Structure 1
Amino acid sequence: MATLASPFDELLTGEEIAYLTEVPAREAKRVSLPDDLHPRLAEALAARGLDALYTHQEEAFAAARHGEHVMVSTGTASGKTLAFNLPVLNALAADPKLRALYLYPTKALAQDQARSLGAYRLPRLRPAIYDGDTESERRWQIRKWANLILTNPDMLHVGVLPHHDRWGDVLQNLRYVVVDEAHVYRGVFGSHVGNVLRRLRRTARIYGADPQFLLASATIANPGEQARALLGLEVTVVAEDGAPRADRTVAFWNPPLLDEDLGVRASPLGEAARLLAELVSRGLRTICFAKSRRAAELIHRFTSERVGAELAARLSPYRGGYTPAQRREIERRLMEGELLGVTATDALELGIDVGLLDCAISVGFPGTVASLRQQWGRAGRRSQGLAVLIASEDALDQFFMREPEALMDRRVEAAILDHANARVLDGHVRAAAFEAPIDARDVETLGPEALERAEALAEAGDLKRTPAGYVWAGRDYPAARVPLRSSSPESFAVIEATTGSVLGMVERERAYSTVHEGAIYLHLGESYRVLA
């Protein structure tokens, strides 16, 4: 029996192909909707054509219904969002006075989820985004009327917890806290976020609330351990993936040798642009992941030069540093299918709904198997997809080209964090002491290490001992001194000299190498010389 050729098959026959394999499809495991869903939510799901759940979604809903903290750790595009939305929306449909807090590592993810929530058209569901882009005049309104607030750990850290008196009604009625893309919270960033979540638990308890935590993560080796490290609580892990998966072709692409003696190969950026141009020319919606902002911009530019003007207009780069309006416009074009190809940094590696994509290209091994699977998981969500790893000259990339099974068979990594590291913890102890006096009762939320550090910080003069507990001795609020992502909170605007329009933003630590005087700044495929 003849099989239909894929539209990308003829691209995978050259000498560049170091490895080619097929990952078979997987059937869905479905169960009926729970009987105890609120009627309004059941109607909203029916209106969207949802009459069944995947098994892991039902398992998560059952655990949440029993009051357990839950970690859902399943594959890309497996429906994790519905797994945590169901218990939250069910509770808010029954009692709209309750509040829920959704935490996302990026603003783009919060925007994406806000669009998704609006599509339910649930009466009395009032979602709102509260982040650094939120206008000042809207912030008090959101605190007053929104019952589902979408934000990020950074805003929770500096914009909510230090000013908890303004958030009294939200904290008093806080029923659920959702932590999406939890696998991102590892290393220094994860250690900071673990402390922010402990401070949130403590502050909510001051207002008489004990919220339930629902976490969602891509597949990692230690979901339960990571959730406990983040929260300081025991969690129920849901890891048996019941979602379907389409066939996927996986190709390892090694740029051709230019100098065999020296081992010099063609540019992986040029090869990525060549492949991307071929794919979009065939009408295949493709995402190409690069490891740096500059690489994403260059691949976009090279690809645009290879295709006609009409097709080039349907290509776009996507990276950090764009203005909020620029990000929203690119996301809209992705969602609506207007864009055929996008070159991105890991800003699009996370779970933003970018519609149905056919192909995913990773330019260079991204550093972890988990990250690579996240990128590849973007391709072929509903029909056969193509996932390509284009190797750089990096020794690890070249090893994987020679030994592809070493990568294909490798397990995903564990997500490791250490909230109790004194270099991380001290800043949060100061912040907690500003928010409310620290005493022995806080061991349950902040942990015993925080009490030990509070005593040491009091001896150093940062905190004061009072009858109520340890309090902040300074005049400012200390959370502002602690950037969660181990980088400076300060950034610079890049201004177009002739029009005065803002091209983008550059963080201080990047500015010295990317926008110094005389530098060439790449933005949406255009080149600009930095004057000053």
Structure 2
Amino acid sequence: MHRAEPTPADHPLLDVLTAHGARADRLTHVRTLPARTGEHSDWPAWADPGLVAGYRALGVERPWRHQVEAADALHQDRHVALATSTGSGKSLGFWLPALTAVRAGRDLPASDAGRIETVGRRSTVLYLSPTKALAADQHGALTRLLDAAGARDVRAATCDGDTPAEERRWIVEHADVVLTNPDFLHFALLPAHRRWGRLLRGLRHVVVDEGHAYRGVFGAHVSLVLRRLARLVEHHGGRPPTIVVASATSADPAASAARLIGVPVDRVTAVTRDSSPSGRRTVALWQPPEIASAGLERSGAGDVDPAADPWALPDPLDPTAHEADQVLTVRGAADHPRRSATAEVADLLADLAAHGARTLAFTRSRRGAESVAQQTRDHLRPVDPALVGRIAAYRGGYLPEERRELEQALRTGELLGLATTNALELGVDISGLDAVLVAGWPGTRMSLWQQAGRAGRAGADGLVAFVAREDPLDTYLVTHPEAVFDAPLEATVFDPANPYVLAPQLCAAAQEVALRGEDLDRFGDRGQVREVLDVLVARGLLRRRPSGWYWTHAQPAASMADLRGSGGQPVRVVEATTGRLLGTVDAGSADGQVHDGAVYVHQGVTFVVDRLDLADHVALVVRRDVDHATWSREVMEIALAEAGDPAHPAPEGSPPARGREWGPVTWGLGPVEVTSQVVSFQRRRVPDMQVLDTEPLELPERTLGTTAVWWSVPDHVLRAAGVDADAAPGALHAAEHAAIGILPLLATCDRWDLGGVSTDLHPDTGEATVFVYDAYPGGAGFAERGYEQGERWLRAVRDAVAACPCPDGCPACVQSPKCGNDNSPLDKAGAVRVLDAVLSHAPVGT
């Protein structure tokens, strides 16, 4: 522990968190980040005077220096990577040059607007955000600016899958600024590019907001969608648009932006020095206490964790998140279990709300958000019933109008506390918050600082508390604060050359306009692109003609690509008796979340799934008060995918497996086939988590072709390490869990982006083997990062497991929140011996 006692210099709300010292032992570290003064610049001479007047009317007398640097580069047609902190005003940096360009054509006579020779003279702007919520928020801010500027000649509108057809027609014909998301661009705008010719012909600026969200498979898809967009702009006679990627501060933002938009890095101007003012921010690392008895929380009435999901599923509203079906380990499996992060955060949120502090509590799951909100209301009810209605949950799956109402209530102060998933991590403009609570590591340092940036915006002081889950990574971080505060930010990892991504994107491009030889360089390495095209031709998806490659099928090619890796069309959750749509669940998690008999919670109201219809993508639920929650169980197997193997074929175009030897230990990296199936679920009584019954399920198998890293250990190495045949399964299983928990330190992912399998004898390797794979079709680069840094990775795993004080293994070291085998068998000591044996063969200097 680095410091448990607050000092006078700490934020006054820290005293509320520690309950005036009664909870001070839960603090493992407190660091105060100093305030930063702002640095202004003058308005650029080229800026439209009306827009400048509008900004001044809204209170922006002079812009910050980084805003002008970004705006100047965009005005000069330079691509820009704008990477500054949350609340630093990035939007002015791109709207000022973009809207100035639009208004430069405002003097076109109305009588000329439809003439062919004048079409395309007026510049247009396309704004892309990863969520509909952020696009709607930006549209509101943009409307306020245009109204203040009196710029009634600029027509801006949001357009997405929810936009009515009549409104969409108006946007096609008249809008100068279109705010949308990559999904609409991919599925609707680009395939119908002939209708959108006016917008494309005049497209001068493209804004890609929250660029750090475009990672993994989603980032690879968006990268190729942007290349398709640029190709169609040129096809319609426009010049290549200038693109700004606005992002949270990250490692090498210029390189990430260049890879995203498909240009050399020297064509991107990086603006990374934040010149906006920032208040002092106090950041506390917090570890919940050990609890006295298995299955029960002990701090007083209401402190149990009913139906909580303390180890979390990411929110599908976040484009980077992918849920995984889980089995929750019954508390008490460890000798010294700790209180769950969700229960702890509910206490802290209640105390802050009672103190009048406006607070966001970030959780790692939909169920976690609902649980924190409900527990907080329960805590506040006997204290001040008026506060109960000022606490709510916010998550993906809510209907758009519900989310807008919650956002507005938080802005106005009507809500004091909002328990949210990472859906509110992105740039929806919510300022004036006093505190942020983070229940569990959000996956990356970038995400942590994005969430933390919600506290103390607009120059005010803020308080942030990161509350650890019982997870090896969380435990490591709260006891090693240098890994939170002093380590460099992560790189944004995505691979546009991934054949699972490239193949459907090439098909979509060919349907839009036949692919020519000169187009291939646009989509990556010419040789790789040509190889994928040859495969597509061989499979009959494209036809090769002397003039190029053509799509000749009736169905839309865009439907082949699942941008977010969600597994298909979302499942609608519908109340059976009324037909009311409650929300949606992404396809990939539907089997585990809304199977027959599952308990579904919506703003504290419980429903039970009567029937899941996968064919119609609907789960019918009935309102019912129950005393239990449900957890699903899945089984899984993995096979190496090799060319020429009809049983487990490697994905078309996937790279061949590669490996290396550490003496007798073999490392491998390559394509695998993972088969999983949800086979049953448990009902567990709340709050004591007693298992009531287990019920089988009949759901289809799901197969994932992806990339894995693995290491295989011969039997004689295990025996020499003191791991006999009986101990090997538990030792390997424990090492696998810990390896998954630690890999996010080295790759831009969290454990929910990964999967793993271990066995004491794998049929494809012939030896004891531990696999860790990317939970995305084709892979996303995370397993490859583990392969490249194998020695560093395994040494961190070994140290984390060995340092955990538990005697036999716990959720803080080797237990996993999503283990399909109920975390059995596990052998913590055996895992350390196996890891020591493997590391003893690591080459010197690795």
Q: Matched residue of 2:193: which SS?
A: helix
Give the counterpart of 1:213 among 243, 254, 268. Answer: 243
TM-score (norm 1): 0.96
TM-score (norm 2): 0.61
Give the counterpart of 2:271 among 228, 234, 238. Answer: 238
Give the counterpart of 1:360 among 412, 436, 454. Answer: 436
- Equivalent residue for 2:562? 483
CA offset digits 1:207-241 (Å, max 9, x no partner): 11121111101011021111111111131111111
Question: Are residues 1:380 and 2:456 paired?
Answer: yes
> Distance in 1 between the 2:103 and 2:374 partners?
48
- Equivalent residue for 1:283? 356
Q: How many residues align?
A: 531
Q: How does 1:63-74 map to 2 (within 5 A)?
A: 63-74=73-84
Instruction: Find runs of 4+ consecutive structure 1 residues off by over 6 angstroms.
Output: 2-5
Is the 1:73–1:218 Cα contact (8 Å) retained in structure 2? yes
**More displaced stretch, 408-417 vs 252-261:** 252-261
Question: Are residues 1:333 and 2:409 paired?
Answer: yes
Is the 1:103–1:153 Cα contact (8 Å) retained in structure 2? yes
Q: Shift in Å at residue 496 of structure 1?
A: 2.5
Give the counterpart of 2:447 among 371, 374, 386. Answer: 371
Give the counterpart of 1:28 among 38, 48, 53. Answer: 38
Q: Shift in Å at residue 498 of structure 1?
A: 4.0
- Equivalent residue for 2:373? 300
Q: Matched residue of 1:456: which SS?
A: helix
Give the counterpart of 2:222 among 173, 193, 197. Answer: 193
> Distance in 1 between the 2:414 and 2:407 partners?
10
- Unaligned runs of 5+ residues in structure 2 are 1-7, 107-121, 294-333, 612-846
Q: Matched residue of 1:132: which SS?
A: coil
* Residues 107 and 530 (structure 1), Cα distance of their counterparts in 2 relative to 1, 3 Å cut: same
- Equivalent residue for 1:118? 143
Q: Shift in Å at residue 529 of structure 1?
A: 1.9
- Unaligned runs of 5+ residues in structure 1 are none
**More displaced stretch, 202-211 vs 250-259:** 250-259
> Distance in 2 between the 1:395 and 1:50 partners?
46
> Distance in 2 between the 1:423 and 1:288 partners?
36
- Equivalent residue for 2:4? none
- Matched AA of 1:227: A
CA offset digits 1:337-357 (Å, max 9, x no partner): 221111111100011112311
Q: Shift in Å at residue 460 of structure 1?
A: 3.1
> Distance in 2 between the 1:489 and 1:310 partners?
43
Give the counterpart of 1:248 among 275, 281, 291. Answer: 281
* Residues 248 and 132 (structure 1), Cα distance of their counterparts in 2 relative to 1, 3 Å cut: same
> Distance in 1 between the 2:349 and 2:542 partners?
57
CA offset digits 1:269-315 (Å, max 9, x no partner): 11100000000111111000011111111001100111133212111
Is the 1:32–1:51 Cα contact (8 Å) retained in structure 2? no
Q: Shift in Å at residue 510 of structure 1?
A: 1.9
Q: How does 1:385-404 map to 2 (within 5 A)?
A: 385-404=462-481
> Distance in 2 between the 1:30 and 1:323 partners?
41
- Equivalent residue for 2:598? 519
- Equivalent residue for 1:165? 194
Q: Shift in Å at residue 107 of structure 1?
A: 0.5
CA offset digits 1:251-285 (Å, max 9, x no partner): 11111112598221112111100000000111111
Higher RCO structure (Cα 8 Å, ≥6 apart): 1
Is the 2:161–2:184 Cα contact (8 Å) retained in structure 1? yes
> Distance in 2 between the 1:45 and 1:256 partners?
49
- Equivalent residue for 2:543? 464
- Matched AA of 2:485: M
Is the 1:20–1:252 Cα contact (8 Å) retained in structure 2? yes
Question: Are residues 1:436 and 2:513 paired?
Answer: yes
Q: Shift in Å at residue 82 of structure 1?
A: 1.2
> Distance in 2 between the 1:273 and 1:395 partners?
22
The RMSD of aligned alpha carbons is 1.7
Q: Matched residue of 2:582: which SS?
A: strand
Is the 2:82–2:247 Cα contact (8 Å) retained in structure 1? yes
- Matched AA of 2:139: A
Q: Matched residue of 2:497: which SS?
A: coil
> Distance in 1 between the 2:497 and 2:375 partners?
46
- Equivalent residue for 1:52? 62
Q: Matched residue of 1:32: which SS?
A: coil
Q: Report sequence identity in percent.
A: 42
Q: Shift in Å at residue 375 of structure 1?
A: 0.8
Question: Are residues 1:138 and 2:167 paired?
Answer: yes
Question: Are residues 1:267 and 2:332 paired?
Answer: no
> Distance in 2 between the 1:170 and 1:399 partners?
50
> Distance in 1 between the 2:254 and 2:56 partners?
33
State which structure, 1 or 2, has the greater radius of gyration over its C-alpha atoms.
2
Question: Are residues 1:317 and 2:393 paired?
Answer: yes
> Distance in 2 between the 1:306 and 1:114 partners?
37
> Distance in 2 between the 1:352 and 1:5 partners?
25
**More displaced stretch, 61-70 vs 445-454:** 445-454
CA offset digits 1:14-36 (Å, max 9, x no partner): 22111112111011111111122
